[in-house]
Amino acid sequence: MNSNKTVIVTGASGGIGSATAALFARSGYNTIINYNKNKEAALSLCEVLSKEGATVRVFGADVSQFSEAKALTDFAVSEFGDVDILVNNAGIAQQKLFTDITDEDFDRMMAVNVKSVFNCSKAVLPFMIHKKYGRIINVSSMWGICGASCEVHYSASKAAVVGLTKALAKEVGPSGITVNCVAPGLIDTPMNGNLDSDTINALCEETPVMRIGTPEDVAKAIFYLAGEGSSFITGQVLGVDGGFI
């Protein structure tokens, strides 16, 4: 059994998630790559990292369901003996006029983007509380802070992640656990693949650093919040948006 720290990254088959899992794995962490639907991408990432000598495992789970979030946690513990870091990255997005959002759209957005954070945090906290140590990093969005037209349910879900982060940080701080979140701006991921070049260029022009972000930009922020250098930082929202807001 590897004695290094263990990290679970949910939604690790996508852009930000895969970059985050890769950064932790290449830095010597025991890394659990979670996916829901994109098994091929998760296995491909695992293969690449394993060939580099990293210690990685893949586990499929729909973390919007508590039973599956618990199974993911139990798998990590069975493989590596513990869980030190949880990165709640699993999420979906959807652009719709507010009047066109259905009950099903809203409920699914909340289940995937908010309930998953609740479920996974609830699953790992008994282990973290027992040893008086843990890092939970949630992935919100700049739209959760300032709101986005035609993304009301998405913005609401990501604002909920901010509120959950701040409240949980106060509750588990005495147990040596920090809870923070990152709020990415426009990032070059498949989730933003529906944006045309004119929209992307316009958003870049509104961004002080004048470029679109990369998944690695977000991964590095998450990695910082998981490290010892951030042990006195909790309940915070770290914007990774190039100064957009």
Task: Look at residues 148, 136, 133, 149 and name the one whose alpha carbon lies nearest to residue 184.
Answer: 148
Residue among 35, 133, 154, 224 flagged as catalytic:
154
Q: How far is CA 88 from CA 50, 91, 129, in A?
A: 23, 9, 18
31 burial via Cβ count (<10 Å: 0-12, 13-18, 19+): buried
Tokens of residue 2, six digits: 């590897």
**Known active-site residue 29:** no
3 state DSSP class of 1: coil
Tokens of residue 176, six digits: 């040596």
State the catalytic residues: 154
